[in-house]
């Protein structure tokens, strides 16, 4: 999110059309006044809300993909255990009457009272847990996959289910907010309502005393903080080692799921994005200025090295070559997308891709 602290409801991701942003930066709409690149849009988020935080986009993605693998494995194991036993009945509602009952329970909470204990959950708890386990969890996986360029390249129609990657990104963010809200409310209720019993049942499988419950909770918080501080510290001190170790887990999974990706373009000229971000400033060297003044009449492209037929090509030579056009969506690692018309020149079996 810090790499592109803006969210859109369309894949063009045109600056100024975001529905929400987490930055105060404003860029001039007229590029003639000042050229700006997408890297300028980045914000440095604190390590307390991101891992490892700041502007470490690549490292953050590695940690995200690494944790996602185990999150999905854990969820799959939970589903298997849930449905190979009778425990699913604790979460899955079996009557529509649970909705008015849940509303009544919510009104009791709103009056700052606690409803009678359910068996094992009251209607509002059961409905909430069902929503998180069977709706919100799969929803996060589905929207996350729709953001993946690899998934989009292999299954180009899949992101269209969500009306594109940017919509999936926005929905994924809202799903994350729902998870955070659920965790905050869940922890608050665990602490406020029968705290010793809740902590004992969660960690020990039986009720316990207040002192032991406080100790368990404090230990849990300290372990979470310690792991986060350790992961942040080692990521910032030894980024290459951490990336290699995380990649050793991520890459085999990626290759197994997707193999060699071959993009399948399916866009038309009407889909081309009106504004396309860039990640490089125009050259400002004296050589470039001289070429610019002479309309690049003396500029040459040298093709040499490990080629059978070294050659030099002028700009006019390139313009006379056969042009092949392809309209493709560009999905930047920063998070923005744009659809562009790309061209390639061909001669003597060599392809030249002009910027």
Question: How far is it, in rounded angstroms, from Cα 145 to Cα 329?
Answer: 16
Q: Is 307 exposed, middle or buried (0-12, 13-18, 19+ CB in 10 A)?
A: exposed
In this predicted structure, the answer to whether residue 349 has a pLDDT above a threshold of 60 is no
Res 197: pLDDT = 87
Strand partners, 313: 301
Res 204: pLDDT = 84
In this predicted structure, the answer to whether residue 347 has a pLDDT above a threshold of 80 is no
Res 98: pLDDT = 92
Confidence class for position 342, pLDDT limits 50, 70, 90:
confident
Q: Which residue has the higher pLDDT, 174 or 271?
A: 174
In this predicted structure, the answer to whether residue 232 has a pLDDT above a threshold of 60 is yes
In this predicted structure, the answer to whether residue 285 has a pLDDT above a threshold of 50 is yes
The first and second tokens of residue 247, run together, are 């990649």
Tens digits of residue pLDDT in 120-146: 888 999 999 999 999 999 999 999 999
The first and second tokens of residue 108, run together, are 């009791």
Question: Running DSSP on this structure, what letter comes out for residue 162?
Answer: G
Res 345: pLDDT = 63
Is residue 343 within 8 A of residue 323, CB to CB? The reply is yes
Confidence class for position 183, pLDDT limits 50, 70, 90:
very high
In this predicted structure, the answer to whether residue 117 has a pLDDT above a threshold of 90 is no
Mean pLDDT of 341-345: 75
Mean pLDDT of 195-217: 87
What is the secondary structure of 4-34 as a DSSP string? S-EE-SSTT--TT--SEES------S-TTT-
Question: How far is it, in rounded angstroms, from Cα 282 to Cα 345?
Answer: 22
Tens digits of residue pLDDT in 78-103: 999 999 988 888 899 988 999 999 99
Distances (CA, A) of 63 to 4, 143, 151: 18, 18, 19
In this predicted structure, the answer to whether residue 354 has a pLDDT above a threshold of 50 is no
Mean pLDDT of 305-322: 85
Res 264: pLDDT = 60
**Which phi-psi region, left, alpha or beta, contains residue 348 (left: φ > 0; alpha: ψ -120 to 50)?**
left
Which run of H or of E encompasses 250?
Answer: helix 239-258
Is residue 12 within 8 A of residue 272, CB to CB? The reply is no
Res 355: pLDDT = 40
Is residue 4 within 8 A of residue 41, CB to CB? The reply is yes
Q: Which residue has the higher pLDDT, 75 or 1?
A: 75
């Amino acid at each position: 999110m810090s790499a592109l602290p803006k969210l859109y409801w369309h894949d063009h991701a045109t600056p100024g059309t975001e529905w929400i942003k987490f930055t105060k930066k404003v860029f001039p709409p007229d590029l003639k006044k000042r050229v700006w690149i997408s890297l300028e849009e980045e914000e440095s988020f604190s390590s307390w809300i991101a891992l490892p935080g700041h502007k470490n986009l690549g490292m953050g993605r590695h940690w995200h993909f690494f944790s996602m693998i185990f999150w999905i494995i854990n969820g799959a194991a939970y589903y298997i255990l849930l449905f190979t036993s009778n425990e699913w009945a604790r979460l899955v509602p079996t009557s529509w009457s649970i909705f008015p009952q849940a509303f009544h329970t919510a009104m009791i909470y709103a009056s700052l009272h606690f409803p009678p204990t359910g068996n094992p959950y009251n209607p509002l708890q059961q409905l909430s847990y069902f929503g998180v386990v069977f709706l919100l969890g799969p929803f996060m996986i589905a929207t996350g996959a729709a953001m993946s360029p690899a998934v989009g390249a292999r299954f180009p129609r899949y992101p269209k289910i969500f009306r594109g990657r940017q919509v999936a990104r926005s929905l994924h963010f809202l799903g994350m907010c729902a998870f955070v809200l659920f965790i905050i409310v869940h922890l608050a209720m665990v602490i406020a309502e029968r705290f010793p019993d809740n902590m004992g049942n969660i960690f020990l499988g039986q009720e316990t005393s207040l002192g032991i419950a406080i100790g368990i909770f404090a230990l849990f918080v300290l372990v979470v903080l310690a792991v986060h501080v350790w992961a942040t510290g080692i990521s910032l001190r030894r980024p290459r080692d951490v990336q290699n170790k995380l990649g050793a887990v991520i890459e085999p999974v990626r290759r197994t799921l997707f193999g060699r990706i071959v993009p399948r373009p399916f866009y038309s000229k009407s889909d081309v994005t009106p504004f396309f971000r860039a990640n490089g400033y125009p050259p400002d060297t004296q050589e470039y200025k001289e070429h610019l003044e002479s309309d690049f009449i003396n500029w040459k492209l040298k093709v040499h090295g490990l080629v059978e037929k070294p050659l030099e090509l002028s700009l006019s030579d390139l313009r006379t070559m056969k042009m092949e056009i392809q309209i493709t969506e560009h999905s930047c690692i920063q998070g923005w997308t744009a659809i562009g018309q790309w061209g390639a020149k061909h001669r003597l079996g060599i392809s030249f891709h002009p910027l």
